[in-house]
Amino acid sequence: MGVLVDSQKEGFGSSWGGLKNLVRRKQVDCAHTKRLDNHQLAKELTIPHLIAVGVGSTIGAGVYILVGAVAREHSGPALTMCFLIAGIAAALSASCYAELASLCPSAGSAYHYSYICVGEGVAWLVGWALILEYTIGGSAVARGISPNLALLFGGENSLPTFLARQHFPGLDVMVDPCAAALVLIVTGFLCLGIKESALAQGIATAVNVFAMLFVIIAGGYLGFKTGWTGYEVPTGYFPFGVDGMLAGSATVFFSYIGFDTVASTAEEAKNPKRDLPLGIALSLSICCCLYMLVSIVIVGLVPYYAMDPDTPISSAFASNGMQWAAYIITVGAVTALISTLMGSILPQPQILMAMARDGLLPSFFLDVNKHTQVPVNSTLATGIVASILAFFMDVSQLAGMVSVGTLLAFTMVAVSVLILRYVPPDEVPLPLSLQESIDSYKLRHNSDAQMINGENPAKSPGDPCLPLLGEKNVAVDCTVVEKLEALSSFTAGTLDEENRRKIAGWTIMLICVGAFMLTFAASNLWFSSLIRFTLCGAGGLLLLSGLVILTCIDQDDERHNFGHAGGFICPFVPLLPISCILINVYLLINLEVATWVRVSVWLMVGVLIYIFYGRRHSSLLNAIYVPKAHVDEIYRSSGAIL
């Protein structure tokens, strides 16, 4: 390998004409990049703040409705098992997020990790999909608040006229002023500062948690008083079988989405290496415990087949003579929605700012207020667009599009963990302004290397076993002894570093292909049996082979020096990330066709923006890639402050 190169490594960054732009990878944040970046966010968040953000973004009002629908249609009394299985599946993704968040604590979350580990093209798609997720998600949540607020004030039409929903028959539009106003209020809180907005979200989350604790304690009392009649059903604990329970687990899995918001606040955490993994783990654990306890109580109060699918918790208390409990439950639902709304809008400005930092979006989104240290332009743009959607559009039909961004991000984070462990980037992009320092260092290194080998530095390059510096794919003649040594090392079962990286890179790619083949064939029942079994067998074989290969070969030693080393380490690699990829790809494949059509349109718009703007303004457009080992020396020789 040459000492200095100007393109990325073969296998993940070969020069394929214009396609090389898609696989160029940026450098993980370090002292060099931090000092040159004047758009830093305030480091204000501690573990309690991160837990408030994580729990508030995860527990939405859906749990107050979801328990009834899933119990009636899928699980029966086994609803608790559904939440447990879904929680374990979510913990797989959470472990991957925790490792990357502690290693790469910068704004952008999954977009940032994908850019560092996979490449610019995939990172752009992930970031673009997340923009859709948070915009649609925030608008959908906002439109769900006004009906619940109306219930608190006495009924469907009890809100003041200027806040109540109005229908315009000529345009066939149902406007929601209350939803738009709430989005703007939340946007205002976010502009005040991350600490203030986290405090507000913490208050709303606390009220919601107290409402759920009321359901658990009061419902437990009623259950012991009535003898838990809901579990005394003739159909048993699994009325829909194990398949029904697994289908219910897939449904309630989406109730755990939100812990990734903690990762998006990485740049604002005081001690990200310690606090981010703890914040993610504790928030997910709290949510899982609350979900399971609520489901135990509600399923025990009322037989699953008698549950009200729209208001299961309120109706369960009403059937036991506690009609007044509906008000407490409604307050919990309203505060849950408000907290989720804040969690939906909070990550969006960070992603816009991160993409603008990398040159993929206009610098308008990069501005950070000097006093609040908040990306004001990004926050205001997010709030205005979300409020317009919440005011004019019934976004419930678009809610499925939210899942695509989340699952795509979860998948790429798991892939990034595999890449980080086995083929971490070993080249660093340096700006074109360092070209002179790079050239002088190259000449000095050439001279030193030739003098060490006892050769004449003035001798023209091209000698045996001496690659041309700065060039790739240069033919190198080696002695017979070196060839015999390479052959003996291969037959002895050891791999040199270059071959190990190639094998690991191709294996990770084949694992992704195998996961897609297996889940696609298993989910499409209209395939003939022969085609289904063939595709499932081939996909399963690729997954199993990939697992065995990655288990047998060594992980890259450079992973210990990557990013902010010393933080959380994801366990059971490669098994855990591969399982995470399989689960998330399965859920992606099983989304509705209409959802994929809408998302495809959005992604095509993103592709056009990237082609005509992003790739032309990327900060890596003229970057010079050099091996990591030489970066510090080049910066020192350039006189840059470390």
HEC readout, 272-312? HHHHHHHHHHHHHHHHHHHHHHHHHHHHHHCCHHHCCCCCH
Non-local (6+) Cβ contacts of 156 within 8 A are 147, 150
- CA gap 126, 387 in Å, rounded: 23
Look at residue 631 and tell me whether its pLDDT is greater than 90. Answer: no
Greater model confidence, 639 or 111: 111
Q: Would you say 221 and 249 are in contact if contact means Cβ atoms under 8 Å apart?
A: no
- Share the mean pLDDT of the chain: 84
- CA gap 128, 606 in Å, rounded: 6
- Tokens of residue 133, six digits: 């997720």
Non-local (6+) Cβ contacts of 561 within 8 A are 628
- The answer to whether the predicted template modeling score (pTM) of the entire model surpasses 0.75 is yes
Look at residue 579 and tell me whether its pLDDT is greater than 90. Answer: yes
Look at residue 641 and tell me whether its pLDDT is greater than 70. Answer: no
Look at residue 484 and tell me whether its pLDDT is greater than 60. Answer: no
Structural domains present in the chain:
56-423+492-641 (1.20.1740.10)
Q: Which of 48-57, 475-484, 545-554 has the lowest mean pLDDT?
A: 475-484
Q: How confident is the model at residue 482 (pLDDT cuts 50, 70, 90)?
A: very low
The Cβ of residue 20 has, within 10 Å, a number of other Cβ atoms equal to 15
pLDDT value for 32: 54
- Write the DSSP symbol of residue 626: E
**E-assigned strands of 52-210?**
166-168, 173-175
Return the closest-CA partner of residue 113 out of 411, 447, 521, 536. 411
pLDDT value for 83: 95
Q: How confident is the model at residue 430 (pLDDT cuts 50, 70, 90)?
A: confident
Return the closest-CA partner of residue 305 out of 388, 234, 361, 362. 234
- CA gap 134, 24 in Å, rounded: 26
- CA gap 444, 437 in Å, rounded: 11
Q: 427 — phi, psi (to 5°)?
A: -125, 145
Look at residue 458 and tell me whether its pLDDT is greater than 90. Answer: no
**CA atoms in the 13 A half-sphere facing the CB of 314:** 18
Look at residue 422 and tell me whether its pLDDT is greater than 80. Answer: yes
